Amino acid sequence: MKKVFVLTGEPSGDKLASTVISKLKLQNPNIEYLSVGGTHLKNLGIKSIFELKDITYLGFTSVLLNIFKIRNKINKTVDEIIKFNPDILFSVDSPDFTLRVAERVKKLNKAIKTVHYVAPQVWVWRKNRVKKIKKYIDHMLLLFSFEREYFEKENIKNTFVGHPLIEKKENTKTVLDNLISKDKKIISLFPGSRKSETNVLLPILIDFVDLMNKKNHNYNFVIHATDENKEIIINHIKERKFNNIEVVSDDLIKSQILSNSTFAVSKSGTVSLQICDANIPSIIIYKLNFINFFIFKLLVNVKFANIINIINNREVIPELLQNECNANEIYKTVIYLLKNPDLIKKQLNDCNKTLQGIRSKTSSSNESVSILNKYLTI
């Protein structure tokens, strides 16, 4: 029986991995799996060697403070992979964790094929990393076509598979009547999937909701949570006694709510592609502590935080970062856009044009499964 070890480092990676592995399981049921994963992989019946939250840290200082824990988890993961002896190590995103593991596994057992899904953003920072990747990654699966030049320069085998968040999906309807009042418009809020992100951004978003309510704006707010952070969010909003906030973690319901939203306020990340794909206007927020932000600015090669803005090299979607990431600025920006439909129309048109340029002609997960199957038959 063939074996695949699935390696993720955060909830978003767990979700991406599950889209691929669910299809691989259908095509090839005779595969044994083990993972570092979260709820999405567990729902597929795949055991994780430890909880995903044990390695999900945000920012340089957070990583430094937990460096010994992270090192221990890397050591344990490498040991478990070598013991499991898979045909393929399928790593997904979170390069500071997954690629460190892949590098050590490859040194110990060259027979294990390493396939990485979601290339590290070498076009943003650490371009020298590409040269190292060649030594321990057999195949890189790319979300964006423009990434190919960086890997082909170093003769690293790669395939542009496209981004799964902007794949065409079947229209599945979910009844939202018992969750959301029809007489109010919806604003979707995305505080992030990592606990460290949520801890920073959730209080700011709650203050924004408070401001909106005080100004008598007739909106419902839905916080898009994960199974991992849903309880933390619920407990936080209980203290404020709001009657127009819901917290949702089910992917199907979240998708339906987003498509029925008037606006979205989202942390910087790949979720912004999903918002664009749903044709919903938005703004981007993000905040790091001073030390993390200072180090980040020293290392990055781009002016923007959001992928849509990076691709266009201009601000298509407004970004409120660091000091501007506060309830007052969010309120002012959201209200300004809502009062200017021409600006919203322009944003949506620019986003749609950008998505057309990066959308794969086929399914990202199907393309990825095809590559994995090739390595399983070698």
pLDDT given at position 301 = 58
| Residue 173, domain member (yes or no) | no
Using the Cα atoms of residue 235, residue 237, residue 242 and residue 248 in order, give the sign of their dihedral: negative
Do 197 and 338 lie in a common domain? yes
Number of domains into which the chain is organized:
2
pLDDT given at position 59 = 46
pLDDT given at position 122 = 60
Do 141 and 29 lie in a common domain? yes
| Residue 179, domain member (yes or no) | no
- Tell me if 118 sits within 8 A of 143, measured CB to CB: yes
Do 82 and 131 lie in a common domain? yes
pLDDT along the chain (378 residues), means of 10: 95 92 95 96 96 64 60 93 98 91 97 95 62 91 88 92 74 56 86 86 96 89 92 89 92 93 93 94 85 52 82 95 95 97 98 88 90 93
Do 151 and 134 lie in a common domain? yes
Interval 11-67: pLDDT, tens: 889 999 999 999 999 999 999 999 999 999 999 999 999 988 777 654 444 545 566
| Residue 178, domain member (yes or no) | no
Do 214 and 163 lie in a common domain? no
Using the Cα atoms of residue 45, residue 49, residue 54 and residue 55 in order, give the sign of their dihedral: negative
pLDDT given at position 181 = 62
pLDDT given at position 195 = 79
β-strand pairing of 2-7 with 219-224: unpaired
**Residue range(s) defining the domain that contains residue 289:** 185-358
Do 162 and 218 lie in a common domain? no
Do 296 and 159 lie in a common domain? no
- The CATH code of the domain that includes 16 is 3.40.50.2000
For helices 195-214 and 327-338, give the axis angle rounded to 10 degrees: 60
Interval 126-153: pLDDT, tens: 566 777 888 999 999 999 888 888 889 8
Do 336 and 289 lie in a common domain? yes
Selection from 287, 293, 294 nearest residue 204 by Cα: 287
Amino acid at 187: I
